[in-house]
Chain A
Amino acid sequence: MKKRIIIYAILIAALAVAVLYAQRTDIQTSIVGPGGKPALAVVDFRGAGAAQPFMSVFNSTLYSDLQASALFDLKPKSMFPLNNPQTPADLVAEDGGKGDALQDWSGAPVHATHLVFGYAGVVNGLFVIYGNVYDARQQDLQAAKLFAQNYPDSLDEGGAARAAHKFAADIIQRFGGSGSLLNSRIYFISSRGAAAKFGTELWVMDWDGNNQKQLTHLGGQMAYPAISPDGSRLAATWWPIAGGQPRIDMINSQTGRTVPFYNQLASLNAAAAFTPDGKKIFYASSPTGESQIYSADIDGRNFSPVTSTHGTPSEPKVNPKNPDSLLFVQGVPNEQIYKMNAEGAGIERVTNGEGEASNPSWSPDGQHIAFSWTRGYAKGEFNIFVIDIGSPDHYNQLTHGEGKNENPVWGPDGAHLVFTSTRAGRTPQIFTMLSDGTQVKQVTTQGSNRYPVWGVQ
């Protein structure tokens, strides 16, 4: 009898360990996609006639986008067979390993699950990509076809890059990516273009750091921007250079001009966040003398208090999939991340009380939170962590003391994060990385650059 009880106890304990392990690893698998990574063989596309000069741009952009998605295991081209198919008509049942049969790609040494192939031509002066994705494991060619799509664009390098972005976005979406970085932009606050000491302006760039340009010319000091879900507006905190209380400026993301916004009569109005429908904002304000979180219409009217705590609550962040679920940060004795509903009820601490935790950012699926945390490091030495909102005790540390790493924000693909780091020097710069902490890339180098947000165009 005793022996049986011991066996049961061991089995229960093993089960508990297995459950805990499953929860811990759930973060990783949900980020990189269910069922493991598809193994893609992406052949180099060739161009017919006037399209050929732009194929280098196309091929590198397509590969880069697919790799950046973190959804795929991209097979090395050095392993590819001799022949690269360009059209479905090139595929045959068996060719002796030359590359025109699907099994040439699914078998050794490539071991791809899918084959991405096609070519470019010029039609009516347009650069046109004829793209295909086939399941290399299928015997039947019709069954193997996953999708085929044409992508026309302008006959230049920009057109080739855009066509590659669109093709990559379709592939990513087909393989379960929750969104695409196509047409996404990173907005950030930069010291560039501001003459006065402490002056900063809002800037925008492509997510890979290209096309950086100054968006606002307000002549003050700006911080803590938020982007509306449709990408049309930004709400940023702004001070006059000569001195004055911080207020919220609502800014047109295309023109950089301010649009009307009513600020409460308060010593501060700051750190705004949009609701998923883009019709309301939450922000911190202090009309009663003590800063609290308020909600208001998009023009600042119809404001009302949400919190009534004494911990200086700030940084409200609304779950993109649940407008009644908010995160915020408050101190006393040390700043931690809390959650509550849209009415300020049901306040619970999310982080475990260690160190200082701040800058929460919801993943697009509303399941994960990226945030800054000093756990394991000295005061102020923030690193980026990711937790599953369902099991906040299990965290994934993405940075490890390479300078201060703050303000993580998810990309619309749910796989990338943009953040600020001082790893390149005392002056903060903007970096991107995958949500597992790999593929870290510095995307700004000039001036001081902070407070990135990732929006769609």
Chain B
Amino acid sequence: MKTNLFQNRNLTLAVSALVALALFTAACGKKQIPAPPPAPTAGNQTPGGFGNPTPAGNVTATLTAEPSRIEIGQSANLNWTTTNANDVSINNGIGTVSATGRQSVSPTETTTYILTAVGPNGSTTASATVTLAPPPPPPAPEARQNNSMGTLESRVQTDLKDAFFDYDGVTIRDDARAALLADADSLKRIFNDFPNATINVEGHCDERGSAEYNLGLGDRRASSARDFLVQMGVPAAKLRTISYGKERPQCTEADETCYQKNRRVHLSAGQ
């Protein structure tokens, strides 16, 4: 804000005379008597009693905000003073105000208030900014799985398929080949996401052979599937074959549908 104190030569001269008079009085060493207020000038009388314009009519204005920094929901006080103004207003919806005053404001965002004081000899402005504190940081995000990755167990469960076998068979048949090809791709992604993971290649059998023989048969099925996966580029060191023979059936009915479900290689997350 800049006030044009010296707008014309006459005004300059008048001010100089007053200053000189004041200095002279002080130099006389008498008890100081406050100078009487300047007599009102008819032409400078502000309607409504506004201000006491100096004889020179310079318009001054100050505007402060206290506190200048609030949080949302809190209030700040605008304080202002003006001189030689007969029209004082503050923007942002406050409007015309008295020459000197105070008003509470509760802005919801950082706001700069501008006071405009207009007097007979000109106008001036003053401004004050009420800064809103930044919002607090959001709470820490909930502990949730990265949807794109999941846990090893969930990935193994959803991404890997069983390979099924013929009765007493260890040969990778066409449907098992398709399943294991897809498994090989899935395993590469899983090992990429879980570099330390190992996968169990479990061999299972239906209930019809003897238990002891089926243990060996399950081992051969697991090895057969493991070898196929390795040929498809799955690291052998990541795969561990386990035979459960017919000791852990996923189906216990005595029919071919159930038998087929149990003649399988199942991939599970290793320890």
Known contacts A242-B271, A244-B242; A335/B213 CB under 8 A? yes
* B212 contacts across to A, CB distance below 8 A: 224, 270-271, 284, 314-315, 329, 358-359
Q: How far is the CB of A167 from chain B (nearest CB, A)?
A: 39
Question: B32 in the interface, Cβ–Cβ < 8 Å?
Answer: no
Known A380-B208, A450-B211; further 17 A-B contacts with Cβ < 8 A: A223-B211, A243-B200, A243-B202, A243-B270, A246-B215, A267-B243, A270-B212, A271-B215, A286-B219, A291-B219, A312-B213, A314-B212, A335-B210, A379-B208, A380-B206, A380-B209, A382-B210
- B217, B247, B248: the one contacting A312 at CB < 8 Å is B217
**Interchain CB contact under 8 A, B242 and A331:** no
Sample (12) of A-B pairs whose CB atoms are under 8 Å apart: A221-B247, A224-B215, A239-B242, A243-B242, A267-B223, A268-B216, A271-B215, A284-B216, A329-B213, A356-B213, A358-B210, A380-B206
Known contacts A243-B268, A358-B210; A268/B252 CB under 8 A? no
* B244 contacts across to A, CB distance below 8 A: 239, 246
Q: B245-271 CB contact bits vs A (8 Å, 1 = yes)?
A: 101100010100000000000001011
Question: A21 in the interface, Cβ–Cβ < 8 Å?
Answer: no
Question: A334 in the interface, Cβ–Cβ < 8 Å?
Answer: yes
User: Whole-angstrom distance between the alpha carbons of A284 and B219 in the complex?
Assistant: 11
Question: A113 in the interface, Cβ–Cβ < 8 Å?
Answer: no
5 shortest interchain CB distances as A-B pairs:
A380-B208, A358-B210, A312-B216, A291-B216, A267-B241
* B242 contacts across to A, CB distance below 8 A: 239, 243-246, 267
- A239, A286, A313, A356: the one contacting B210 at CB < 8 Å is A356
Question: A426 in the interface, Cβ–Cβ < 8 Å?
Answer: yes
User: Whole-angstrom distance between the alpha carbons of A380 and B213 in the complex?
Assistant: 12
Q: A323-350 CB contact bits vs B (8 Å, 1 = yes)?
A: 0000001110111000000000000000
Most buried by A among B222, B241, B247: B247
Secondary structure call for the B interface? mixed
Known contacts A267-B219, A267-B241, A312-B220; A372/B210 CB under 8 A? yes
**Interchain CB contact under 8 A, A224 and B211:** yes
**Interchain CB contact under 8 A, A314 and B252:** no
Q: How far is the CB of A333 from chain B (nearest CB, A)?
A: 7
Question: B177 in the interface, Cβ–Cβ < 8 Å?
Answer: no
**Interchain CB contact under 8 A, B248 and A291:** no
- B202, B209, B241: the one contacting A335 at CB < 8 Å is B209
**Interchain CB contact under 8 A, A314 and B271:** no
Question: B167 in the interface, Cβ–Cβ < 8 Å?
Answer: yes
Known contacts A245-B242, A267-B222, A356-B209; A334/B215 CB under 8 A? no
Question: B183 in the interface, Cβ–Cβ < 8 Å?
Answer: no
Q: B177-217 CB contact bits vs A (8 Å, 1 = yes)?
A: 00000000000000000000000101000111111110111
Which residues in chain A, 204-255, are within 8 Å of chain B measured between CB atoms?
221, 223-224, 237, 239, 242-246
Q: How far is the CB of A451 from chain B (nearest CB, A)?
A: 8
Known contacts A268-B216, A291-B216, A312-B217; A246/B243 CB under 8 A? yes
- B215, B247, B248, B254: the one contacting A314 at CB < 8 Å is B215
* A224 contacts across to B, CB distance below 8 A: 211-212, 215
Question: A175 in the interface, Cβ–Cβ < 8 Å?
Answer: no
Question: B168 in the interface, Cβ–Cβ < 8 Å?
Answer: yes
User: Whole-angstrom distance between the alpha carbons of A379 and B222 in the complex?
Assistant: 23
Question: B240 in the interface, Cβ–Cβ < 8 Å?
Answer: yes
Q: How far is the CB of A421 from chain B (nearest CB, A)?
A: 14
User: Whole-angstrom distance between the alpha carbons of A407 and B211 in the complex?
Assistant: 9
Question: A289 in the interface, Cβ–Cβ < 8 Å?
Answer: yes
**Interchain CB contact under 8 A, A359 and B219:** no
**Interchain CB contact under 8 A, B210 and A291:** no
Known contacts A267-B242, A329-B210, A329-B213; A239/B247 CB under 8 A? yes
User: Whole-angstrom distance between the alpha carbons of A66 and B208 in the complex?
Assistant: 37
- B207, B252, B271: the one contacting A380 at CB < 8 Å is B207
Question: A198 in the interface, Cβ–Cβ < 8 Å?
Answer: yes
User: Whole-angstrom distance between the alpha carbons of A65 and B270 in the complex?
Assistant: 52
Question: A100 in the interface, Cβ–Cβ < 8 Å?
Answer: no
Residue of A nearest to B259 (CB): A380
Question: A406 in the interface, Cβ–Cβ < 8 Å?
Answer: yes
Q: How far is the CB of A244 from chain B (nearest CB, A)?
A: 7
**Interchain CB contact under 8 A, B271 and A243:** yes
Q: B151-173 CB contact bits vs A (8 Å, 1 = yes)?
A: 00000000000000001100000
Residue of B nearest to A198 (CB): B248
Which residues in chain A, 271-317, are within 8 Å of chain B measured between CB atoms?
271, 284, 286, 289-291, 312-315
**Interchain CB contact under 8 A, B216 and A289:** no
Which residues in chain B, 115-167, are within 8 Å of chain A measured between CB atoms?
167
* A237 contacts across to B, CB distance below 8 A: 215
* A407 contacts across to B, CB distance below 8 A: 211
**Interchain CB contact under 8 A, B247 and A331:** no
Q: How far is the CB of B66 from chain A (nearest CB, A)?
A: 68
* B223 contacts across to A, CB distance below 8 A: 267, 289-290
**Interchain CB contact under 8 A, B247 and A198:** yes
- B217, B243, B252, B271: the one contacting A331 at CB < 8 Å is B217
Residue of B nearest to A316 (CB): B212
Q: How far is the CB of B222 from chain A (nearest CB, A)?
A: 7
User: Whole-angstrom distance between the alpha carbons of A431 and B223 in the complex?
Assistant: 36
Residue of A nearest to B200 (CB): A243
Which residues in chain A, 87-145, are within 8 Å of chain B measured between CB atoms?
none
Q: How far is the CB of B206 from chain A (nearest CB, A)?
A: 8
Known contacts A358-B210, A372-B210; A334/B216 CB under 8 A? no
Q: A401-414 CB contact bits vs B (8 Å, 1 = yes)?
A: 00000110000000
* A286 contacts across to B, CB distance below 8 A: 219
* A356 contacts across to B, CB distance below 8 A: 209-210, 213
**Interchain CB contact under 8 A, B247 and A406:** no
Q: How far is the CB of A19 from chain B (nearest CB, A)?
A: 34
